Amino acid sequence: MTDTSDFVRIEHAQKSFGKLEVLKDISLTVERGQIVAIIGPSGSGKSTLLRAINDLDALTGGEIWLDGVQVNKTLPHRQYEKHINEMRQQIGMVFQHFNLFPHLTVRENVTMAPMLLKDLSKAEANKLAEEQLDHVGMLERIEYYPSQLSGGQKQRVAIARALAMKPKLMLFDEATSALDPELVDEVNQVMKKLAEDHMTMIIVTHEMDFAAAVCDRVLFMDQGVVVEEGPPEVVFKNPVKDRTREFLRKHIEGAK
Amino acid sequence: MDFELMLKVYPFFLEAAWLTILLSVLTAILGLTCGALGAAARLSRFRTLRFIGAAYVSVIRGTPALIQLFILYFGGPQIGIQLDAFEAGVIGLGVNAGAYMTETIRGAIITIDKGQGEAARTLGLSQWQAMYKVILPQSARLMIRPLGVNINALIKATALVAAISVVELTYTAQRYIGSTYKPFEMFLLAGILYMIIIYVAGRGIAWLDRKAQIT
Amino acid sequence: MGLDFSIVPKYMDVILLGCAWTIGITVAAALLSFFGGIVFAVIALYGPWLLRQPFRLFAWLFMGTPLLLQLFLIYFGLVQIGIDLPAFVAGIIGLGLHFAVYNSELIQTAILAVDKGQMEAARTLGLSRGEALRKVVIPQAVRAVLPPIGNNMIALLKDSALVSVIGVSELTLSAQRVIGKTYRPFEFYLLAAACYYVINLGMEWVQRRIERRISISR
Ligand SMILES: Nc1ncnc2c1ncn2[C@@H]1O[C@H](COP(=O)(O)OP(=O)(O)OP(=O)(O)O)[C@@H](O)[C@H]1O
Ligand SMILES: [Mg+2]
């Protein structure tokens, strides 16, 4: 598939936890190289949507497509495992709480998956890890354990770990929410750099300024539906919907 | 206190202690194996296996080890299982210890933060790879100490095989109490040997634990 | 030989009587271990040196050796010093003391955790040290460790099978006697196991109820 207009395609995504309907018929496409921000109040289903894209939380209805391949195919368990592991190698994910592996050094955190899944030799994997860590400015901490790093440093390593798999798409779930304010910027800088490299990204965030600065499109979600979407200038400055306006007003007040 | 008598009989106790040690080691190996399998069953994605694991833990922990030993040793021949007392002791005690170890191992696995498994799966690791590369190395450190408690209990539980006449420490003590009428002296002899065994095992476990925490 | 459960009903009364004995012994030993545990804990923490040191040695010996060995010591030891008690009394004492030592460890930790602030608060109200311990510190400490003490008592039920070895006619020995007549070990030991399992479930049920009630008053 050479058409890039629907590099990521979400069709009628629906998700319930028991009786609770968290995602209600969400459809969305992301072009190759595009950067989409998802904003919305707590509990609106942002994380759930993001986690559905790599099937960490399986949808109860709808389809997810990446680069012409359906991610959440219906397959017998064994085949599905194989399929989803291949898909996930192409989808990097960064979590709010980093989730670095505490028993491994920074280097091992980054090299483990490429060595296991891409049959890289140790030397090749090391070279790859050094490149990626250099990219996020963490090369000098390569032999450290995660417990010896600050939150911002951990998050940068987590990004390098995801990038080492050479993903086609990166998902960020509030990557800076758990950080002290003074550490937020170093992570944002790394994400900006990725944007300059034209990485396709879907970013769940509470930082409107950052979203406005790097994103091509903004999605406002509330109660499991996309209330409004458009370029950041429009959504942030001149939202069409009252609910969006209300949310942004509260958010700006909250920030002060 | 009859020290002369104690000196006279202690070689027999020493010999019995070796059997207690052998019993303990074999029981621990079998127990750990059953514990690992039990934990795997309890955490399996198959309902049937989860049920079997839960039933194993519940039934074994809900009934006396002595009765389990009797069913195996005295009842076994009725269903075609012919074991000598030592074999029945190792198997009975090992399966029993395994039920307790199942819970220890399972506990250490489920306390690892869910995000660890998720991060591994997100990178594309399979369930098994996530388990042995990410979860198990972390939970292994957590389980050494509580497994040590299980092993301490298991060493003391080896005394039960005295009831099916395996000539280990407790059986030997009982026999000499019967023939010498010196219960306290015999208790002390056997007791000291038990405590040495438990102490050495405890040191070994503490050493392992320290080694595991360093890296 | 195969299995044949058809003779089981004929001996059911013997087995049920054994169950009753097992329950009785367990309850008696549990009570002994509970109050003994409190006494031991107080001795270990506040007793005079002359009492504390021998107690520590005793606790150390009892935690480091098998219960079965201790039962032999108590049963034959009592006889030797001229106290000829029925086997079941020796059994209750042995089980009770063994678990009292374990309970005392739990209670000691809890007392130390409660002690600091609560003791001071009680003393400022004018209570003596002993009164403060009895009325304020110990009740709280015991409440805090009731769940693990409950677990000890469930363990005690299962270990009560060991007193069969010194000739107490509880469930296990009753099964053994029936087997002596019928030569059906598998059937009757299995039946005994089932009885223990049911009593065990009952104890777990009681434990949950007590815990629920206690959790309100904490
Ligand atoms: N595993 C789960 N089981 C049951 N309910 C869940 C589960 N995960 C999420 N939910 C519910 O789904 C809803 C959406 O959750 P989600 O985490 O997607 O929200 P969010 O938009 O990411 O919020 P936040 O900004 O707080 O991270 C919430 O009501 C949440 O309680
Ligand atoms: Mg979220």
Q: What's the pLDDT tens digit per position in A26-59?
A: 999 999 999 999 999 999 999 999 999 999 999 9
Chain A: nearest CA to B189, how far in angstroms? 45
pLDDT at C215: 75
User: How many CB pairs below 8 A link B and C?
Assistant: 117
Mean pLDDT (chain A) is 91
B75 touches chain C (CB under 8 A): yes
Task: Categorize the per-residue pLDDT at A5 as very low, low, confident or very high, splitting at 50, 70 and 90.
Answer: low
Number of H helices, E strands in chain B: 9, 0
Q: How far is A46 from A173, CA to CA, in rounded Å?
A: 8
More confident residue, A1 or C26: C26
Rounded distance between C-alpha atoms, residue B15 and residue B6, angstroms: 14
Q: Which of A148-152, A242-246, C125-129, C151-155 has the lowest mean pLDDT?
A: C125-129
Comparing alpha-carbon positions, the chain C residue that sits nearest to B195 is C64
Yes or no, beta carbons of A117 and B124 under 8 Å apart: yes
Establish if B111 touches chain A: CB-CB under 8 angstroms: no
Domain count, chain C: 1
Reduced to 3 states, what is the DSSP secondary structure of residue B45?
Answer: coil
Closest to B150 (Cα-Cα) out of B87, B205, B89 = B205
Q: Which residues of chain B have pLDDT under 50?
A: none
Domain of A82, CATH number, reads: 3.40.50.300
Residue A17 falls inside a structural domain: no
In a domain, A12, yes or no: no
| Contact status, residue A126 vs residue A111, Cβ threshold 8 Å | yes
HEC string for chain C: CCCCHHHHHHHHHHHHHHHHHHHHHHHHHHHHHHHHHHHHHHHHHHCCHHHHHHHHHHHHHHHHCCHHHHHHHHHHHHHHCCCCCCHHHHHHHHHHHHHHHHHHHHHHHHHHHHHHHHHHHHHHCCCCHHHHHHHHHHHHHHHHCHHHHHHHHHHHHHHHHHHHHHCCCCHHHHHHHHHHHHCCHHHHHHHHHHHHHHHHHHHHHHHHHHHHHHHHCC
Residue A105 lies in a domain: yes
Judged by phi (left if over 0) then psi (alpha if -120 to 50, else beta), residue B146 lies in alpha
Q: What is the greatest pairwise CA distance in chain A?
A: 56
pLDDT reported for residue A4: 57
Residue A183 domain-assigned?
A: yes
Whether A18 is in a domain gets the answer: no
Chain B CB within 8 Å of residue C193 CB? yes
Q: Does some domain include residue A109?
A: yes
- A54, A56, A116 ranked by CB distance to B129: nearest: A116
pLDDT at A251 over 90: no
Between residues 158 and 177 of chain B, which touch chain C (CB distance below 8 Å)? 158-160, 162-163, 169-170, 173-174, 177
Measured by CA distance, the residue closest to atom 28 of ligand 1 is A43
Per-residue pLDDT, A226: 93
Q: Give the C-alpha separation, A194 to A155, whole Å.
A: 14
Contact (CB, 8 A) for A95 and A170: no
CB neighbour list of residue C182: distance below 8 Å, 6 or more residues apart: C7, C11, C188
Flag if C164 and B173 touch (Cβ within 8 Å).
no
Decide if A65 is inside a domain: no
* Contact residues, chain B, for C183 at CB < 8 Å: none
Q: What is the pLDDT along chain C (218 residues), one digit of tens a residue?
A: 678 888 888 899 999 999 999 999 999 999 999 999 999 999 999 889 999 999 999 999 999 999 999 999 999 888 888 888 899 999 999 999 999 999 999 999 999 888 777 877 888 887 887 888 888 888 888 888 988 999 999 999 999 999 999 999 999 999 999 999 999 999 999 999 999 999 999 999 998 998 888 777 65
Here the CATH number for the domain that contains residue C177 is: 1.10.3720.10
| Rounded Cα–Cα distance for residues B61 and A192 (Å) | 57
Q: Which of B122, B141, B215 sits opposite A54 (nearest CB)?
A: B122
CA distance to A216, B66, C83, C162, per residue, from B69 (Å): 71, 5, 32, 12
pLDDT surpassing 70 at residue A203: yes
* pLDDT at site A1: 45
pLDDT value of residue C80: 82
Q: Which domain holds residue C141?
A: 5-216
Residue A154 lies in a domain: yes
* Domains of chain B, first to last: 3-212 (1.10.3720.10)
For residue B137, count other CB atoms closer than 10 A to its CB.
17
| CA-A204 nearest atom, ligand 1 | 22
Distance A174 CA to ligand 1 centre (A): 13
Task: Please tell me which of the candidates C68, C158, C172 has its beta carbon nearest to residue B159.
Answer: C68
> Of A166, A165, A144, whose CA–CA distance to A154 is shortest?
A144
**Touching pair C, A by Cβ (3+ pairs < 8 Å):** no
How far is it, in rounded angstroms, from Cα C172 to Cα C166?
11
Q: Within a 10 A sphere around the Cβ of A248, how many other Cβ atoms?
A: 17
Q: Residue B195: is it exposed, middle or buried by C-beta count within 10 angstroms (0-12/13-18/19+)?
A: middle
Which residue in B has a C-alpha nearest to residue C165's C-alpha?
A: B163
Ligand 1, CB cutoff 6 Å, lining residues? A 17, 20, 22, 40, 42-48
Which residues constitute the domain of residue A244? 34-59+73-255
Of chain C residues 120-159, which have a CB less than 8 A from chain B? 158-159
CB within 8 Å: B121 and A113: no
User: Touching check for B103 and chain C: CB below 8 Å?
Assistant: no
Contact between chains at B118 and A81 (C-beta distance less than 8 A): no
Of residues A249 and B42, more confidence is placed in B42
The best mutation among A48, A56, A93 to test binding of ligand 1, ranked by most ligand atoms within 8 Å of the C-beta, falls on A48
pLDDT tens string C156-206? 999 999 999 999 999 999 999 999 999 999 999 999 999 999 999 999 999
Atom 5 in ligand 1: which residue has the minimum CA distance?
A17
